[in-house]
Amino acid sequence: MSLPLSGIKILDFSQFLSAPSATLRLADLGAEVLKVEHHQKGDLSRSIYASQIDIAGSSAFYQAINRGKQSLSANLKDADDLALVKQLIRQADVVVSNFRPGVMQRLGLDFESIQAINPNAIYAEISGYGATGPWADKPGQDLLVQALSGALWMTGADSEGPVPMGVAVADILAGAQLAQGILAALLCDETKLVQVSMLESMLDFQFEPLTLFYQDGEELSRGEVNPAHPLVAAPYGLYRTTNGYLALAMGAISTLAELLDSDPLRVYQDRGEWFAKRDEIKQVLADLLSTNTTEHWLAILEPADIWCANVLDWQQLLEHDGFKVLDMVQTVVTGQGERYQTTRCPIRLDGQLITSAQGAPTLGEHNALTKAKLQEA
Amino acid sequence: MKLPLEGLTVLEFSQYLAGPYAGLRLADLGARVIKVERPKWGDACRQLATKNMWADGDSVLFHTINRNKESFAANLKDPEDLARVKKLVAQADVLTHNFRPGIMDRIGLDYDTVKAINPGIVYAEVSGYGKVGTWRDKPGQDLLAQSFSGLVWHSGEGDQPPVPFGVAVADMMCGTHLAQGILAALVRKKRSGVGAKVEVSLLESILDMQFEGLTAHLNLDNQTPKRSLSNNAHPYLGAPYGVYQTADGFIAIAMGCMKKLADALEYPALAAFEDQDRCFAERDEIKQLLADYLIEQPTRYWLDRLTKVDFWASEVLNYQQLTSSEAYKALDMELSATRKPGVAITTTRCPIRLNGQALKSEKGAPALGSGNAVIEKEFGL
């Protein structure tokens, strides 16, 4: 299989997770990604992001985000290094950054400067909150963006106050949008600047609840009992059983009442009440479902095509045939011969998995190679 | 501005959220997206109203996801309609669907058949859990995918039951990956002329989203996600990372040097935890110290101290507070999508800016079958 982006060269000045997750995806799809890292500190995710979890000398998170990429260490304040980087820009198809607004300008590597060096290059950047406006200089950090975006009122119960989503969702979504923008720009000659902010990506993520808010100006209520989505009626939620948890998605309460033979549930025949009385209904369900095992309930509900599932943790997931058949784990090898396991690209192309055996680079691992290639060119 | 996907036609057989969200993004980027829908009912999302909000007979949710698209109504079980759809397929650049495995084969629009009609097409499909294996026939639904994936053990406090994300995150991630796969395949088609089949699933997408923690878990013992007992915001991050109650609201505090935090807050008790390893190992204790202390003063009091030394912190906003802020207004994030005079929905625009411009198509979501006459004529059906 020929990968779609083979031969595309990406010069990546970004660090941490947001834009690097975009270049990871583009590397998966065949692009050649060269990280340009601070000559001493490198990408800060090597050391200060979940640093207690170490694989092959860097944080496990760094290893996950940067597999399949190369590393050039450079001091962008040093004239020789900057000249080298500008030579690389001449050959690049895409330049990526996620510095705070103004930093690339000070380095002389802003969009206009790069256009002057290489008019064909696509310049793609992620900011926290856009290039202008009162928050432009705020740190573009995941939890802060979540907190400002209104997203902390979507998860958990009303009485719990704001509840963050426990994965760096703003970073990952911004990276995903940037990858889309870059891919679209590769399809035409006119688009040279692609900009995404973490905040706008979080707003796009909430386009459904925000659109409702725009119409009626009301904040959402998450409810109290087994909350799972502020806009969805009972039974939607996770329920404790005697040996674990059962997920129930959308379904008719009247049907559930018959399947579970529950008189207290039969009270709620009117579809119109399933949202308004969701806490009440879910409490009835919670009391009932807590009396038997997850398997017991699945055996009743699954054959009736009720949307339900057992709730797994990673240990259970990794041992499950449903996971194994996906072949989602791949082993990669670093330039030093260290091996680690990580997930592969989630996209299949022409019926095949997209995998790549190359681990993440050490700081400056490809300095010599990069210089040698420039001399050949 | 000429949009990058101008001139490309996407046929969307997808319903609900994941596939249509990809279609929406492709439409934002300039593609012509035609929803192929069953007569009478159409995309099931038309009838799926949240907060009982409707506009012109369709749910506001449907309007949100399907703005800037056209609708072609066709009964795929009727041979004449199917023949018309096949003529449309022959002229399209992209096809998306999210039927359960096997349905497109029965209809006669599986990849091999479609490829025979149109070898250059990008055929893109969404499933819940892949197309083989024990879960292949499970309904591809967001909460179920979250529940299988382990994601529900990341949010909430350590002593709580599993807590799902309160947004359809598996659908959204999967739609995003679908769009990425389609766009990448279009790049390859532009360079080499070949079509492609692109496949994504809700489960693989929501696992990809957890790739950092999964990588830790796969390689190291004892790295299942463990939420802190209180103020959890990310199971793999140490104190102070979390949201704390103040005298008048809440404050979010991200990562940083504990000594700097102790100084900024004038809270010497924290300085003892300067060592990075202790910030993780003893995070429950540190977070409790912080929670007890931060509740004494209002949010603004703490924020002033923290932002002065550039310690990463922010207030916590709800939609009312967010949308009335100058920073939100500066983003110009809203657009009005109009179906017809009197039927307009205010919604969010595409989050990507191209050449410095926001993408703001004001075309609303289509009424079912409203594109039939025009599409039949234009494509000679």
Cα dihedral: B374, B376, B378, B381 (round 10): 180
Instruction: Tell the CATH topology of A9-205+327-376.
Output: Rossmann fold (3.40.50)
Interface check for B344 against chain A (CB to CB < 8 A): the answer is no
Instruction: Tell me whether B227 touches chain A (CB under 8 Å).
Output: yes
Residues of A in contact with B254 (CB under 8 A): 139, 141-144
CB proximity B185 to A under 8 Å: yes
Chain B 298-317, CB below 8 Å of chain A: which residues?
A: 310, 312-317
Choose the mutation target among A143, A159, A218, A344 for the interface with B, i.e. most B CBs under 10 Å: A143
Q: Contact at 8 Å (CB) between B151 and B169?
A: yes
Question: Contacts of residue B64 in chain A, CB cutoff 8 Å?
Answer: 207-208, 211
Q: Is B264 on the interface with A (CB under 8 A)?
A: no
Nearest to B4 by CA among A187, A178, A194: A187
Among B1, B60, B65, select the one facing A215 at the smallest CB separation.
B60
Kindly state which CATH superfamily the domain A237-319 is placed in.
Answer: formyl-coa transferase, domain 3 (3.30.1540.10)
pLDDT in tens, A105-145: 999 999 999 999 999 999 999 999 998 899 999 999 999 99
For range A40-67, the mean pLDDT: 89
Quote the pLDDT of residue A115.
Answer: 97
User: Chain A: nearest CA to B265, how far in angstroms?
Assistant: 18
Q: Closest chain B residue to A156 measured between Cα atoms?
A: B163
The stretches of chain A forming alpha helices (DSSP H) are 18-28, 60-66, 79-91, 103-106, 111-117, 142-148, 169-185, 198-205, 207-216, 253-259, 263-266, 273-276, 278-289, 294-301, 314-319, 321-324, 367-376
C-alpha separations of B209 from A15, A285, B149 in Å = 18, 31, 10
Task: Name the closest residue on chain B to residue A308, using Cα atoms.
Answer: B144
- pLDDT greater than 70 at residue A46: yes
Q: Which of helix, strand or coil describes residue A309? A: strand
Domain boundaries, chain A: 9-205+327-376, 237-319
**At residue A281, what are phi and psi to the nearest 5 degrees?**
-65, -40
Contacts of A270 (CB under 8 A, 6+ apart): none
* Active site residues per annotation of B: 171
Q: Is B229 on the interface with A (CB under 8 A)?
A: no
How much is the pLDDT for A54? 87
> Hunting for tokens 């599932």 — which residue is that?
A309
Task: Examine the predicted complex and report whether its ipTM is higher than 0.90.
Answer: yes
CB-based contact B243:B250 (threshold 8 Å): yes
B173-196: b (≥16 Cβ within 10 Å) or e: bbbbbbbbbbbbbbbbbeeeeebb
User: Which residues between 27 and 66 in chain B have a beta carbon less than 8 angstroms from any beta carbon of chain A?
Assistant: 29-30, 50-53, 60-61, 63-65
Asked, colleague to colleague, whether A9-205+327-376 and A237-319 share their fold, the answer is no
CB within 8 Å: B252 and A144:
yes
CA distance B184 to B182: 5
Asked whether the beta carbons of B154 and B217 are under 8 A apart, the reply is: no
Percent of chain A at pLDDT exceeding 70 = 99
Residue B236 C-alpha from the chain's centroid: 23
For residue A51, is pLDDT > 80? no
pLDDT > 70? residue A1: no
Each residue's pLDDT expressed in tens, for chain B with a length of 381 residues: 899 999 999 999 999 999 999 999 999 999 999 999 999 999 999 999 988 899 999 999 999 999 999 999 999 999 999 999 999 999 999 999 999 889 999 999 999 999 999 999 999 999 999 999 999 999 999 999 999 999 999 999 999 999 999 999 999 999 999 999 999 999 999 999 999 999 999 999 999 999 999 999 999 987 899 999 999 999 999 999 999 999 999 999 999 899 999 999 999 999 889 887 899 999 999 999 999 999 999 999 999 999 999 999 999 999 999 999 999 999 999 999 999 999 999 999 999 999 999 999 999 999 999 999 999 999 999
* Chain B residue closest in CA terms to A238: B162
At residue B1, the pLDDT reads 84
Closest residue on chain A to B238 (Cα): A50
The 10s digit of each residue's pLDDT in A226-284 is: 999 999 999 999 999 999 999 999 999 999 999 999 999 999 999 999 999 999 999 99
Q: Cα separation of A324 and B145, whole Å?
A: 15
How far away is chain B from the Cα of A14, in angstroms, using its nearest Cα? 17
pLDDT value at residue A48: 73
* pTM (two decimals): 0.98
